[in-house]
Structure 1
């Protein structure tokens, strides 16, 4: 949580990393970014630099003194056609579509129907590709969750300890009360 003083008024910013899901195929990559409620298209900024780093940032006001800031950075595929990247925002989800150059145009292959060993090699390549897709999704989902959990403020941690301590003290007092009362 960041605090900024603006003209004598305090403004709070909660910084979050939104949940991100990747969908990858041979010819296209799609990033789904699940944004907090209240975010509008005007609040979102998407940039890509010369090194292929896609940056999605934004800030959304919650009320007069509080806003939510979010940020997500990811590296795009080397064979991505950067000038054809498109974004669509619908029902709280930002879809960034990144078309790729055709793998057939990049590396043509000659295949015959009778060659079963080559068919097996393509199957093995597809299996390896699926495994890497699953691993990528797993790291994307749980990596951002881990980062969000670690970003909790000290105040929230102290508040949780105080609530637990109060519950324990209350339970002890209730036990003492019932044990002291005559049956």
Structure 2
């Protein structure tokens, strides 16, 4: 956890607001946001994606020792080069992985293939004479 804020007291409950450490891992077809959340369980986290304003909201609360709760609230704007409706999340080992699939902004250039058969003889230049000495004309 990167930083904490002063304790807040709500309904006799003491809360500590935290700012979890986050980092991006880039890949070819998607990018993944890693949110480090030691002390949390999957059931204590909530992720919401709002398609209208392209916001991703991540919240969590975890009960700690001494009847204290830690909580966080992160709201991120999802850039338009990601498919917001295909974002997926998984929580494992105290890390929340949020996978952001990239849109295909421009199609890849098609690979040019040689249409010649591999058994065909190589073509000779047009100005080269046949090897048998004939002109090629009947």
Match of 2:82 among 75, 80, 83: 80
TM-score of the superposition, structure 1-length normalised? 0.52
Separation in 1 of the partners of 2:58 and 2:106? 31
- What's the CA shift for 1:63? 3.6
Per-residue CA distance 1:25-82 (angstroms, 9 max, x = gap): 4421100000132x11010010122211111001011146210001222221202112
| Aligned equivalent of 1:22, options 9, 18, 24 | 24
Deviation at 1:12, TM superposition (A): 0.3
Q: SS of 2:35's equivalent?
A: strand
Give the count of matched residue pairs.
105
- Contact 1:55/1:71 (<8 A) preserved: yes
User: Counterparts of 1:57 and 1:104 in 2: how far apart (Å)?
Assistant: 34
Gaps of 5+ in 1: 113-183
Partner of 1:2: 8
Q: TM-score, normalised by structure 2?
A: 0.67
In structure 2, runs of 5+ residues without a counterpart are: 1-6, 113-138
Measure how far apart 1:19 and its partner are.
0.1
Greater helix share, 1 or 2?
1
Equivalent residues of 1:85, 1:97 under 8 A apart: yes
Contact map agreement 1:18 1:36 (CA 8 A) in 2:
no
Per the alignment, in what secondary structure is the counterpart of residue 103 of structure 2?
Answer: coil
Structure 2 equivalent of residue 47 of structure 1: 48
Match of 1:103, SS state, is coil
* Higher Cα radius of gyration: 2
Alpha-carbon shift at residue 4 of structure 1 (Å) = 1.4
- Partners of 1:32 and 1:94 within 8 A in 2: yes
In the alignment, what sits opposite 1:138?
none
Query: What RMSD in Å do the two structures reach over aligned CA positions?
Result: 2.0
Secondary structure in structure 2 of the residue aligned to 1:13: strand
